[in-house]
Structure 1
Amino acid sequence: MFQQEEYDIIVVGAGHAGCEAAAAAANLGSKVLLVTMNMNTIAQMSCNPAMGGVAKGQIVREVDALGGQSGIITDKTMIQFRMLNRSKGPAMWSPRAQSDRMRFAEEWRHTLEQTPNVDFWQESVTGIVVENDTVVGVKTQLGIEFRGKSVVLTNGTFLNGLIHIGEKNFGGGRAAEKKSTGITEQLIELGFETGRMKTGTPPRVDGRSLDYSKMEEQAGDDVPSKFSYLDTPALVKQRPCYITYTNPEVHEILKEGFEKSPMFQGRIKGLGPRYCPSVEDKINRFADKDRHQIFVEPEGSSTVEMYINGFSSSLPEDVQYRALRKIAGFENAKMFRPGYAIEYDFFPPTQLSLTLETKRVKNLYFAGQINGTTGYEEAACQGLMAGINAHNKVHGREPFILKRSEAYIGVLIDDLVNKGTDEPYRMFTSRAEHRILLRQDNADLRLTPLGHALGLASDERLFRVEQKQRETTEVVELLKNFAIEPHEINGLLTELGSATLHERTRAINLLRRPNLELEHLTRTLPGLTLALAPFQPDSLEQAIILIKYESYIEKENQQAMRVAELENFVIQGRLDYQQMPALSHEAREKLLRVQPETIGQAARISGVSPADISVLMVYLGR
């Protein structure tokens, strides 16, 4: 008999969700077992070797602010950094890093191995152990039972994974890795609903065979920033990415493979990501366009392997190869491996509570692609939240739930639980109604105090936040009181096409002008430069954002407070909404299934109208 201790939390799967879940629970003090099919693919970047992007970068900063690891590991292993959308308002600024894929995985494994309370087991999990509607462990392929007070499933694309390349298909959770079986079938027996989703990946090519002179170079920022709020290493040497384009000849070759396409011939049943379609889907859906962007991205700092972003495909490998060679710069391209599509099982996330615990089985949590999401960042934040909540449940602590006005993480989980998803869910800034409050620059101010109260964010993190908050307030006060004479500034204002002054004003008034930045003033006013010298750059940036967007931020805060009133109205116990005939039929059906915990949550369920909410509040005695 194989003997082993009982764990507080067992995490199944060591992708981005599983790694964050294991690290969070262990750092909070739980005894954790991380079970993975392959110790050599921990935190594997299965697709794009990058972290962040629009809205996704905000999520990575939120994970870091709470005390998670993804931001730190990205900073240590990135090979390029860009702040996207700088030409737009700060709510849209989004950090993105090109990562060294091999070093990223290596650093994650090293971090977990150096984390007290984390044990590892390499094997496939074939089922969970359930007693009295409560999970108490997992079963492995070897027939071993590991006992645990809580289980977090983060299976990614491995649940009955099926890989498609043209007319060929074979079981697998990722290229050259076998699929996982048994879990889906057991969960269906336990009463869970399931579905199929699809994602894909492009071919990888030999960078030595490409002609970069025919492409547009896409360099990183001149002064690269980073994700973590801690003192992670500064990025010194960056690798460029490149942009090229498909053309009508490429499209014609790809169309030759349509008759063998698993997507167009109906062999793929799962729904793919709307906002990251395959190249064949793009030329089919957007037939009026004669070219599409292709991003050529290095897989690491010392490898020649290149990721062909924008050319995701499940067409036959020979069609992919011939089409690739018609792209400018790819005339002599050598392919390392073709692109492929993969179908996998997921479980509609309306079956979860806001803690990511399942409603049917107590102490069982789902995180990542098993919930119908796509993206490393979306997976990482779910893993973090599942790990925190599993730890809290096991140790008798209160659930940790982020509001939509507090974090993109809160928006993501609220969307999943209340609205569900029938296609791979990815985060966008447009999904967040309070996005001007949820900026990448203030994730630490929003979330580090909460992470510190949990015991996850360190004292050092909290000290930095308090210092930043204090400095920001001091900078705003300084700018309120710093007087500027017309003769000192009118030359600059004329140069910028801004109205000149006729009397003395304060620096804060000039900074409220949309075309005037702090660097304009400091370049012209030596006294102001000297006065601001003691302050940190991030405190200065925070102060300027608060000044420029003061009225918008105030409006968002007021709206968030009104919403909070509904969030504070807790629905006690499980209600039988079918016994409330004044509710619409759809509302009764949706409310019965979701069983919202607050009036605010009920109001966000698709199909529940404001009239239904009024009826519900009357019924509850409000």
Structure 2
Amino acid sequence: MRNYDVIVIGGGHAGCDAAAAAARMGARTALVTHRRDTIGVMSCNPAIGGLGKGHLVREIDALDGIMARAIDRAGIQFRMLNQSKGAAVRGPRAQADRALYRSAIQAILAEQENLEIIEAGVENLLIGAAGEVAGIVTSTGESIAARSVIVTTGTFLRGVIHRGEERTPAGRIGEAPAIGLAQRLEAAGFALGRLKTGTPPRLDGRTIDWAALEVQKGDTPPVPFSFLTDRITVPQIDCHITETGPDTHAIIRENLHRAPMYSGQITGIGPRYCPSIEDKVVRFADKTRHQIFLEPEGLNDHTVYPNGISTSLPADVQKALITTMPGLARAEILQPGYAIEYDFVDPRELLPTLETRRLPGLFL
């Protein structure tokens, strides 16, 4: 049986930094993920930082984490939010080239000593004689021992994608959910709930009328995220701004019965600071417009991320509402937006160290 000091489940933002941190400290570490080639993939918004979040990234960097170094190798627009306010409330944010960010993360992990990547799903946990976690069982049936197991599954625990009336089991678009691990946590008595988040439709930048839009430039010169980066050498780009209007909102209101959050199809709780466009229209009914930021997903990628219109409305409704916005009358959707609902463990199950109370050696 293979044996490690630490096993990290999941190759997203948290998993990559957790695995790198354990390995840096000398622990024999395994990062277990469904697919090696998707390590470092940015599932939703291709950006790092922002208000509050930018502080966190810099704190991770101060602890020798990898996220800040990766975005400095991949950032295509850097901005300091709240620049006119005091230093305590400023928030660094960088727009990323998705391909460059994934490559940067994978390169950093490849150079890390004491770290091995295992390509597999995790179906079960091994439990020791004293009731502690002793390792994992993979989807191939292999048992792998470890003194500590860190779960960083993001939206994969019993994940379900919702788009209109469609429901598809998935951890994110095109990838299978983690069913067995969710069932194991439930069987162990953990209090589980459901959360929901969403993502906007991706647009074809070649079909956008850029001349009709307000330009949003980055900072000059761009300020790096990492204290170890001298300067940014990646080419920088502009983003653009459009907005919803009364016609957009009318289409959304007319189709709320087809939105999973309002039809009762989704029971999970949505994010407080990243509401869907449906929520914005309902909760802020007095507002006739909402700003939408059109953010390119890469230097050599025509895909555009319209930040501000996360939605789970059906694809035909998404097409209709997109064309009501300035500059988007002829815009084509490359991938419709969707909501994803997934399991989470009640944080009251955790000790201040993030170790679970029920299963020593298991960290969430």
Q: Shorter-normalised TM-score: what interval?
A: over 0.9
Q: What aligned pairs does 1:568-587 form with structure 2 within 5 A after superposition?
A: none
Structure 1 residue 75 corresponds to structure 2 residue 77 = no
Q: Which residue of 2 aligns with 1:365?
A: 363
Q: What aligned pairs does 1:302-313 form with structure 2 within 5 A after superposition?
A: 302-313=300-311
Query: So what's the TM-score if we normalise by structure 1?
Result: 0.58
Is this contact kept in 2: 1:166–1:261, CA < 8 A?
yes
SS in 1 for 2:89: coil
Runs of 4+ in 1 over 3 A off after TM superposition: none
Q: Which residue of 2 aligns with 1:281?
A: 279
Choose which of 39, 44, 48 in structure 2 pairs with 1:42. 39
Q: CA deviation at 1:333?
A: 0.4
Is this contact kept in 2: 1:13–1:154, CA < 8 A?
yes
Structure 1 residue 345 corresponds to structure 2 residue 348 = no
Amino acid at match of 1:124: G
Choose which of 192, 196, 199 in structure 2 pairs with 1:198. 196
Choose which of 119, 126, 129 in structure 2 pairs with 1:129. 126
Q: Which residue of 1 aligns with 2:212?
A: 214
Q: CA deviation at 1:7?
A: 0.4
Alignment deviations for residues 509-562 of structure 1 (CA, whole Å, 9 cap, x no partner): xxxxxxxxxxxxxxxxxxxxxxxxxxxxxxxxxxxxxxxxxxxxxxxxxxxxxx
Structure 1 residue 164 corresponds to structure 2 residue 162 = yes
Q: Which residue of 1 aligns with 2:108?
A: 111
Amino acid at match of 2:90: W
Q: CA deviation at 1:233?
A: 4.2
**CA–CA distance in structure 2, aligned partners of residues 317 and 151 of structure 1:** 39
Q: Which residue of 2 aligns with 1:398?
A: none
Q: CA separation of 1:35/1:236 partners in 2, compared to 1, >3 Å: closer, same or farther?
A: closer
**CA–CA distance in structure 2, aligned partners of residues 317 and 53 of structure 1:** 29
Choose which of 67, 72, 81 in structure 2 pairs with 1:84. 81
**CA–CA distance in structure 2, aligned partners of residues 318 and 220 of structure 1:** 34
Unaligned ranges ≥5, structure 1: 367-622
Q: Which residue of 2 aligns with 1:327?
A: 325
Choose which of 306, 311, 314 in structure 1 pairs with 2:312. 314
**CA–CA distance in structure 2, aligned partners of residues 232 and 338 of structure 1:** 39
Choose which of 231, 242, 245 in structure 2 pairs with 1:244. 242
Amino acid at match of 1:251: H
Q: Which residue of 2 aligns with 1:610?
A: none
Is this contact kept in 1: 2:72–2:229, CA < 8 A?
no
Amino acid at match of 2:14: A
Alignment deviations for residues 106-135 of structure 1 (CA, whole Å, 9 cap, x no partner): 111111111111111111101111112111
Amino acid at match of 2:229: D
SS in 1 for 2:317: helix
Q: What's the C-alpha RMSD, in Å, of the aligned pairs? A: 1.1
Is this contact kept in 1: 2:223–2:231, CA < 8 A?
no
Alignment deviations for residues 69-128 of structure 1 (CA, whole Å, 9 cap, x no partner): 111111011001111111111111111111111111111111111111111111110111
Amino acid at match of 1:89: G
**CA–CA distance in structure 1, aligned partners of residues 230 and 8 of structure 2:** 27
Amino acid at match of 2:220: D
SS in 1 for 2:282: helix
Q: Which residue of 1 aligns with 2:293?
A: 295
Is this contact kept in 1: 2:161–2:167, CA < 8 A?
yes
**CA–CA distance in structure 2, aligned partners of residues 259 and 353 of structure 1:** 41
Q: What aligned pairs does 1:91-102 form with structure 2 within 5 A after superposition?
A: 91-102=88-99
If asked which structure has higher relative contact order (CA below 8 Å, sep 6+), I would say: 2
Is this contact kept in 2: 1:245–1:294, CA < 8 A?
yes
Q: CA separation of 1:358/1:91 partners in 2, compared to 1, >3 Å: closer, same or farther?
A: same
Q: What aligned pairs does 1:54-69 form with structure 2 within 5 A after superposition?
A: 54-69=51-66
SS in 1 for 2:107: helix
Unaligned ranges ≥5, structure 2: none
Bigger fraction of residues in helix: 1
**CA–CA distance in structure 2, aligned partners of residues 232 and 112 of structure 1:** 21
Is this contact kept in 1: 2:73–2:234, CA < 8 A?
no
Bigger fraction of residues in strand: 2
Residues 229-238 or 90-99, more deviating: 229-238
Query: So what's the TM-score if we normalise by structure 2?
Result: 0.98
Q: Which residue of 1 aligns with 2:221?
A: 223
Q: Which residue of 1 aligns with 2:147?
A: 149
Is this contact kept in 1: 2:196–2:271, CA < 8 A?
yes
**CA–CA distance in structure 2, aligned partners of residues 171 and 220 of structure 1:** 38
**CA–CA distance in structure 2, aligned partners of residues 232 and 125 of structure 1:** 40
Q: What aligned pairs does 1:596-611 form with structure 2 within 5 A after superposition?
A: none
**CA–CA distance in structure 1, aligned partners of residues 38 and 86 of structure 2:** 38
Is this contact kept in 2: 1:217–1:241, CA < 8 A?
yes
Q: Which residue of 2 aligns with 1:394?
A: none
Amino acid at match of 1:313: T
SS in 1 for 2:2: coil
- Number of matched residues? 363
Amino acid at match of 1:101: R
**CA–CA distance in structure 2, aligned partners of residues 87 and 246 of structure 1:** 27
**CA–CA distance in structure 1, aligned partners of residues 61 and 86 of structure 2:** 23
**CA–CA distance in structure 2, aligned partners of residues 103 and 6 of structure 1:** 33
**CA–CA distance in structure 1, aligned partners of residues 272 and 19 of structure 2:** 31
Larger radius of gyration: 1
Q: CA deviation at 1:355?
A: 1.1
**CA–CA distance in structure 1, aligned partners of residues 310 and 265 of structure 2:** 17
